[in-house]
Chains A and B, each alone.
Chain A
Amino acid sequence: EAGVAQSPRYKIIEKRQSVAFWCNPISGHATLYWYQQILGQGPKLLIQFQNNGVVDDSQLPKDRFSAERLKGVDSTLKIQPAKLEDSAVYLCASRISPDRNTEAFFGQGTRLTVV
């Protein structure tokens, strides 16, 4: 079974530029998460999708971050414009459902450096 795929693996941009990350979850997984992980910290949830609907985006900085999952499969996360403090690893994870007895699997992440 293929895992969660993310691209690109690395991205370096200048502040005020835009960037987009892509995630393809495990086939059949209805729940998809985007996390931001700053060096030395645990992952922080940005947004949770159930199929193509948003369940939780309370910690998404909506003035600059946006995410979509139009067909309920793959998803994109965009930052526009980027700030220095956005430098982090952006992780995508998926679960077959949000039910408590299910496991979440992560992609390798995209490491973003804003200079």
Chain B
Amino acid sequence: GQQLNQSPQSMFIQEGEDVSMNCTSSSIFNTWLWYKQDPGEGPVLLIALYKAGELTSNGRLTAQFGITRKDSFLNISASIPSDVGIYFCAGPSNTGKLIFGQGTTLQVKP
């Protein structure tokens, strides 16, 4: 079945640094969604990508939909302590089933 692989699995960075994480698949996705999950909460949608090559920003976050439609990356610029959490990529299958990656855990040292 379709799977999404995220890397890195975890990151520990200094406040103010930029962060990059990515998500890859062996099959094509037509939509990429990036979510952030804080402890004890449900995932919150950060950015949605709908076209191959699309580059979309949301404040300090930037995400791109890969040209091959098999990957996507998420960048966070000038990280702050509240960026701490788990970041998930997700994509819908042809039947609308929403598939998630394993997540990238981000820790930010003040």
Contacts and interface: CB of A to CB of B under 8 A. Distances in A.
Interface of A: 4, 6, 31, 33, 35, 41-45, 48, 50, 55-56, 91, 93, 95, 97-101, 103-109, 111
Interface string B28-60: 001101010000111111001010000000000
B100 A48 contact: no
B42 A33 contact: no
Contacts of B92: 98, 100, 104
B95 A106 contact: no
Across the A-B interface, give the 5 residue pairs with the lowest CB-CB distance, nearest first: A98-B96, A106-B42, A42-B100, A100-B30, A100-B31
B73 interface: no
Given A100-B50, A104-B33, A109-B42, 5 more contacts: A41-B103, A48-B96, A55-B96, A56-B95, A109-B40
Interface of B: 30-31, 33, 35, 40-45, 48, 50, 88, 90, 92, 95-103
A31 B96 contact: yes
Contacts, number: 67
Contacts of B101: 42
A70 to B, nearest CB: 20
A103 B33 contact: yes
B30 to A, nearest CB: 5
B41 A109 contact: yes
23 contacts: A4-B42, A6-B42, A35-B100, A42-B101, A44-B100, A45-B97, A45-B98, A45-B99, A48-B95, A48-B98, A55-B97, A91-B43, A98-B92, A98-B96, A100-B31, A100-B50, A104-B45, A104-B98, A106-B35, A106-B42, A108-B42, A109-B40, A109-B41
Nearest to B9: A40
Nearest to A106: B42
Contacts of B102: 41-42
